[in-house]
Homo-oligomer: A and B are copies of this chain.
Amino acid sequence: MPPSAAASPAPESRPAIPEAGSAAVSAPVPARLPDLADRFASRTEGMTASEIRALFAVASRPEVVSLAGGMPNLAALPLDLLASEVAELISRDGQVALQYGSAQGVPLLREQITEVMAAEGIRAHADDVVVTIGSQMALDLVTRIFCDPGDIVLAEGPSYVGALGSFAAYQAQVRHVAMDDDGLVPAALAEALSQLAAAGRRAKFLYTVPNFHNPAGVTLAVARRAEILELCRRYDVLVVEDNPYGLLGFDGQTYPALRSMDPDNVIYLGSFSKTFASGLRVGWALAPPAVRDKLVLAAESATLCPPTFNQMMVSRYLAGHDWRGQVKSFREMYRERRDAMLGALSTYLPAGCRWTHPDGGFYVWLTVPEGVDTKAMLPRAVRARVAYASGTGFYADGLGSRQLRLSYCYPTPERITEGVRRLAGVLNAELEVLHTFGTPDRAATRSVGSGTRRGPQTPSPDTT
């Protein structure tokens, strides 16, 4: 939002409380609000609100089925048990839990994190783990230590909106690399790398979500993993592997982490937001020592240290409870919801729609028939009491106007089915208008690559 649009009714301009006996109140307090447009750093130009924000107040009404958000469903958490755990934590260890800690994170939790990562074949030392405030902070710090303005980052197209937000905040340029149903396409990566090399450039890193991709709902085929790692090695490009959903494979399957296959060239990002509780904001980065040291320094200037209390709570939970059993409950809950969504999509959606079939995670990526603009359609969908995340938010280059992301993580199966039914109604109405009146002028310019070019969006919890 430009500063000029931000002038609100301004409780700011009320007079200050007079301080008895002080010269304070004689300070000038002009009625005008300052025009700060010329003060902000140039990086703020890339900071824009996410598309769904404007609709959020409407979309969060109870009568609207929101398939837009990425909020994990916490219904399966054993709250009474957690309550007694946390009470004991405060009673017994409050003097430590409520105090500053190290910037790198609580040592015991870092040990435990290495055990969590072992499920995906990672062998790591706790010294190389940096605890962060959600993996979003890890993303922010990785970008901070690697990206000067104008530096290039490779990322899948589409890509996680929060990553695009961090890249924009540090004025990095995103070059998208194509995906298909088996994830990132090695030939497309090879082409991007060789084009950059031919131009005398080198990407700072490849950012990838290999498992149960957000927003695409696909998983990088195991056979492609070594090929992608070798390509990045050959062109001397680091890999940033973001893996918040890796343990949420619906058949209990896990995939070998890229980090397990090339420890020296991969920075791995993990999170407890989807496997335990997002509101604690505990994530981590696992990085080669030289990178780890920079991450710790950057973390110190960002927040001094992550909250000790939250780290100790996660640590107790991992130590004292069947967290693997809990993850299994989450998986089963999400699988039921995925089934509801795929079933409803098959039942209700008009011909010409295509969608991905996730075998884990939270999301389905839907491509609608030619001529339909998902961003333009969103207000009409919300009027029909269903919300989604339109596709353009997941690209840095304006693509995605024929796509949208559907989340099945939060609503009940019944609500998911009803939401998809409503979405189908909206799509049918759009198509009817198109068929009756022909493709409108603006639709004629909507083929791949011709969407309005706009900056990436900052993330918002409702679109994570």
Contact surface of A with B, Cβ cutoff 8 Å? 1, 3, 6-8, 10-14, 16-17, 19, 22-30, 32-34, 36-37, 39-44, 47-49, 71-72, 74-75, 77, 79-80, 82-84, 86-91, 94-103, 121-125, 127-128, 133-134, 136-137, 140, 144-148, 151, 162, 165-166, 168-170, 204, 222-223, 225-226, 229-230, 233, 238, 256, 260-265, 273, 277-281, 288-294, 297-298, 300-310, 458-461, 464
Contacts and interface: CB of A to CB of B under 8 A. Distances in A.
A133 B199 CA distance: 41
A238 B39 CA distance: 9
3 tightest A-B CB contacts, nearest first = A11-B125, A100-B461, A98-B277
B223 A39 contact: no
13 contacts: A6-B293, A16-B121, A17-B121, A23-B226, A27-B262, A29-B261, A33-B289, A34-B264, A36-B291, A169-B302, A277-B309, A281-B303, A309-B310
B39 A146 contact: yes
Given A90-B83, A280-B98, A294-B44, A136 B302 contact: yes
Q: How many copies does the complex hold?
A: 2
A147 B39 CA distance: 9
A71 B100 contact: yes
A41 B144 contact: yes
Contacts of A264: 12-13, 29-30, 32-34
Given A44-B294, A146-B40, A293-B6, A102 B33 contact: no
Residue from the set A30, A71, A84, A461 with the largest chain B CB neighbour count within 10 Å: A461
B140 A169 contact: no
A294 B263 contact: no
Contact of A3 (B29, B290, B305): B290
Given A83-B88, A123-B14, A301 B238 contact: no
A308 B96 CA distance: 20
Given A90-B86, A297-B49, A33 B134 contact: no
A24 B261 contact: yes
B124 A12 contact: yes
A424 B404 CA distance: 69
A263 B16 contact: yes
A165 to B, nearest CB: 4
